[in-house]
Structure 1
Amino acid sequence: ARYRTHSRSGQRGRTWQRIAMPAETHRLGPGRDHVAVLDERAELRIRRRAFGSGQLVTVALVNAARDDSASGGTDRWDRMLFQVELRARPVDGQVLQYPSVRLASRDEEEQELRLQYRHVRTHAVGHGCAVEEVYDDETGSRVTGLRAAVMPEA
């Protein structure tokens, strides 16, 4: 969503009108690693790196707005995005367990946590957000996609 700023004539303060933006679907991969999205307010980027026998993939939503201090503060608010949801799934391939550097740790607390949560598998790591796993509808056990959640749901 985005918000449009309204100044009240003759009064102090301002109000904001929420404007929902339609969901978009894009296919990125070899030969196409970025695309403008959300009315060109953001850019969806993908980065793939070889890792073992597979690939480690980073998907990022990047703010495309540029600071234009000359236009004043109001215009800046109107370019911001809020409540953005990002979903990703492989077209060919599968979502595997995320590699952990904790396995090499000799720290006693890390070893204890690893034992306590040995049944929990991590498939992605979020930066500034949580990542939720999307499971196969048939079995409910295979991870088929991932969803970035700014405010995770229980």
Structure 2
Amino acid sequence: MKSIVLIFSTFLAIQMNYVSAKPSKEEFLKHLDNCQKKENLDEGIVKAVEEMKLSDIAEGKCIFACLMEEIGVLKNNKISKEDLMNYTQNLYQDDNEKQEKATDVTDKCIKEGEESNGDRCEVAFNLVKCVQKNAPDLLLNH
């Protein structure tokens, strides 16, 4: 019985550490590289994503869906509010103002994203456009 409790406690500690770890730029770039390959996109799209030039990404909208799937906030073509909130709270754990701003725009931007008739690429792209319009400084950090 003690060994089961120890195993469970270790598993829980690992999960809590994973959930509370601040996402790094290196992780983001790794996801970006993976998504470039998965979505078969050229370097121009990746550069536009890095610079958040959304007008240059029309042909590569699916990269945002892939990125959101990789970090666990887009599931079955829907944005998980809980997972998105956890991700942004961890991302901005050192900046209360950005945490509040992320909380403020989450509902609005999830609604805008989900007005895309379930297309994963449109859902993700519309969410990013909404955040860029309403809280652009949240996107410039990555």
* TM-score normalised per structure 1: 0.25
Structure with the bigger RCO (C-alpha within 8 Å, sep 6+) is 2
Which protein shows a greater Rg?
1
* TM-score normalised per structure 2: 0.27
More strand by proportion, 1 or 2? 1
More helix by proportion, 1 or 2? 2
